[in-house]
Amino acid sequence: MTETPARDPYGAGKRRPDLLIWGAAIFLVLAAVFAAAPALRAGPATLAGLLLLGGVAGVAILGLVAIRASTAVTDPEPEGAEAFVEALSEPAALTAADGRVLAANAAWIQAVGDARRLPKGAAGAGLFAALVKARDGQRAEGTLLIAGQERRAEAARLRGGRLLVRLPTVVEKTVAVAAAAPSPTVAQSAPAPRTLDAFSGASPFGAALLEGLDPFNSRILEANPALAAMTGAVPAGTLFGALIDPPSRSEAEGRLAEGKAGPFEVRLARDPTRIAHLYLYRADGRLVAYLIDVSEQKQMELQLAQAQKMQAIGQLAGGVAHDFNNLLTAIQLRLDELLHRHPVGDPSYEGLNEIRQTGVRAADLVRKLLAFSRKQTVQREVLELGELISEFEVLLRRLLREDVKLITDYGRDLPQVRADKSQLETAVMNLAVNARDAVRAAKGGGVVRIRTARLTQDEAQSLGFPGAEGDQAFIEVSDDGPGIPPEVMGKIFDPFFTTKPVGEGTGLGLATVYGIVKQSDGWIHVHSRPGEGAAFRIFLPVFEATPAQQAAAAAALTVAETAKPRPPRDLSGAGRILFVEDEDAVRGVAARLLRARGYEVLEASDGEEALIIAEEHAGTIDLLISDVIMPGIDGPTLLKKARGYLGNAPVMFISGYAEAEFSDLLEGETGVTFLPKPIDIKTLAERVKQQLQAA
């Protein structure tokens, strides 16, 4: 067989001398001779000489063997392998494991060149990884950069340790493409899967192999265990669309038709309350569908959105209530002045009294807004949960009427809670009245149940309080009415939202309950399904009093009973009062009415003016009355700056906000009291006289 030019450049199968290796061999022999010279001079009769000669001989033999091994060429492949490489029409070469090219055909030389080694650097980086795998007996693929373009290369190990590297020819085919729009799932992958891979089969999320490209009308070929756990048993041949709740299926089909790429949010047919994200992977003629349960994530998102919405509405309601309280205060103070001029029997008295009653109703409305915004003034006390409901039960039975039956269920070992008694009673009453109206409107009567209990942390979490820590006091007000429609569930706590007919509700009942529970550091959860009634569940932290707190509470109760102040009958008095209020209508009327009762009143419209007046009258002011929220210097800041001018004079703050909103700003202050707006002149005069007498 004649040699072709493709083989001549490489001399495959021939031994090629290396001058460096042969030079090393000659130097090794000379070194052995020079090392043996002393032993030869000493003579072989000595033991040292014999040992030295033996060691030198051994080293020389080992060195020659190593040199021979390094110069040996791997046994050449049979001539058939070289002929096979030459016969291939595609570029091919025989290489050593270190990248030396031992033989190549003409196509290889034309494509790659006649270099003795495979390309190094960036050009051959993708190929050498394949050579490493091929050396271990694996069939591997890599890339070779030729003329700036990547070519796919295949490497395989032959007998004798050599490697066969081929560059398969790329065959372009003309394929008719349909004019239809591409599927919006994922780019097509070939070949079509015949079964789910090991990863999908063992994954914690649902996976199914579908026959067809329409996910909701394709049949399931195979499903993993996680999908069966989510949707129930999934036998082969089941329509994938049957696993999805019809309304959400229609929505997902619409998005898919519009070309949306997903994921698609769907609800499961087995339990429509469970929400999943659907991902689709398209292969030739088949789909792989992945379902990931995101129900808990969606629930947390809804709770967060609801909390943020309620906080924003609460801030708005609190601001409106504060400003409205100022207006109501001015109206009530002016009414007090007019009623003093037009007593009973005067023709104007009846009209003025009606205005007064309307103002009282408006003040009650503002209190509800403040309760919702958690800015209402509260007086917390330690309450026995069982006693609270049992005492309140008598009033509730009168409110619910004869056609509604009230059932109370008291649990064992009921805990104590620390809350405002009147507010908590208001919350339970609002829930009971709403339950009464629901059952009477639906079927003319029904059952309202109030249940109290002590819950463990796990029990509270299972009943709807995910953030429960420790034991919780539990109050549940439920009914057997029609339940709350799902479409209005997210709005029931919004102020002025109501499903009752016009004129039968203000829409502030549940909003007030929400604010009261939140202001008591509690949690409220609603459980309702259409046709099964509704249950409002209130969770309050359990109060565990220490022995020191118990002793202090008993002492405070004794002192309060023995020294309970009585309202003074005579509302006149004497003293210098610094009255600070940014609302002109409130300040002007209140100052005039206090002057009419004998007091000297110094008026200031803001904190800066009040500070100047306090400095001018240092040591002569008997009482400071100030609003809390004012432009510039607020009330607590004014007190700290003016305390040196006031001495030990008592201070009374008036505000539409809750005392807790600014109580932390008064740390270290004594002789400070609080009067919530709206106020009337009688209450103001009584508190002024009490403060001056106590001072």
Mean pLDDT of 649-661: 74
Q: Which strands sit side by side in the sheet containing 672-676, from one edge to the other?
A: 600-604, 576-580, 623-627, 651-655, 672-676
Q: Looking at the predicted structure, is the pLDDT value of residue 566 above 60?
A: no
The highest-confidence range among 61-65, 145-149, 479-483, 499-503, by mean pLDDT, is: 479-483
Q: Give the CA distances from residue 403 to residues 442, 484, 513, 638, in Å, rounded to whole numbers and listed in that order.
A: 12, 21, 25, 58
Query: If you ran DSSP here, which 8-state letter would residue 244 be given?
Result: B
Report the 10 Å Cβ neighbour count for 355: 15
Q: How confident is the model at residue 520 (pLDDT cuts 50, 70, 90)?
A: confident
Q: What is the pTM of this model?
A: 0.42
DSSP per residue over 562-628, as a string? Answer: HSPPPPPS------EEEEE-S-HHHHHHHHHHHHHTT-EEEEESSHHHHHHHHHHTTTT--EEEEES
Position 313 pLDDT exceeds 70 = no
Q: Which of 287, 291, 251 is nearest to 268 (CA)?
A: 291
Cβ 473 vs Cβ 504: under 8 Å: no
Q: What is the mean pLDDT of residues 119-129?
A: 68
Question: How confident is residue 171, by pLDDT bands cut at 50, 70 and 90?
Answer: very low
DSSP-derived 3-state class of residue 630: coil
- Please, are residues 577 and 687 in contact by the beta-carbon 8 Å criterion? no
When pLDDT is cut at 50, 70 and 90, the band that residue 609 belongs to is very high
Name the β-bridge partners of 208. 223, 289
Give CA separation, 267 vs 243, 244, 248, 277, 293, in Å: 9, 6, 6, 9, 9
- Residue 558's pLDDT is 54
> What per-residue confidence (pLDDT) applies to 506?
63
Percentage of residues in the chain with pLDDT exceeding 90?
Answer: 9
Q: Which position has the higher pLDDT, 116 or 31?
A: 116
Stretch 4-9: mean pLDDT: 42
626 — phi, psi (to 5°)? -140, 145
Most confident of 156-165, 322-331, 603-612: 603-612
pLDDT of the residue at 250 = 87
Chain segment 429-479, per-residue pLDDT in tens? 889 888 888 888 878 888 999 999 999 999 998 998 888 888 999 999 999
Reduced to 3 states (helix: H, G, I; strand: E, B; else coil), residue 142 is strand
Query: Residue 245: pLDDT above 70?
Result: yes
Lowest-confidence pick of 31-40, 88-97, 125-134, 260-269: 31-40
Residue 227 has pLDDT above 80, yes or no: yes
Checking if the pLDDT of 500 tops 80, the result is no
Mean pLDDT of 631-635: 85
Q: Do residues 647 and 669 make contact, with C-beta atoms less than 8 angstroms apart? A: no
Average pLDDT, integer, range 568-595: 83
Mean pLDDT, residues 107-119 taken together: 81
pLDDT of 494? 78
